[in-house]
Amino acid sequence: MAVASSEPGYEELATRLESFTQLHASDLLEAEFASALARRATANDGSLTDQVSWVLPDRALTAEIDAVLAAGYLRGADLWHLACALFLSPNPVELTFLTLDQRQAEVARALGFPG
């Protein structure tokens, strides 16, 4: 969202995103993205989301949610994104977690994700 809406810090984030060969995101991002674009009356040309491989858990993420909450409190959507990252890579050091949300970044680091 930061890149699409040119939020402060988006240029560095866009550069970081371009450096990865694979991008993964929770499927919740699709709804968050569409909602933010609609709020701004901006069309979704698909240029950002087409590059994403969606994380679609096939089971409850209770263990991952518990692990995130043990590292620090987050609200629902931010919690879900980190739980999905743990589902994708149970060993956090193997996956970079990018966010501009300070609290979410703190919890991600506490879990062991490089930022």
pLDDT, tens digit (0-9, with 9 covering 90-100), for 21-58 = 999 999 998 888 888 888 877 776 766 678 899 999 99
Q: How far apart are CA 76 and CA 73, in angstroms?
A: 10
Helical segments of 40-75, H only? 62-71
Q: Domain segments of the chain: what residues? A: 10-111
Predicted local distance difference test score (pLDDT) of residue 47 = 67
Whether residue 17 is predicted with pLDDT greater than 70 in this model: the reply is yes
2 CB-side CA count, 13 A: 15
Q: Could you give the C-alpha distances from 105 to 9, 98, 99, in angstroms and in order?
A: 14, 8, 6
Nearest to 87 by CA among 58, 112, 115, 107: 58
pLDDT in tens, 59-91: 999 999 999 999 999 999 999 999 999 999 999
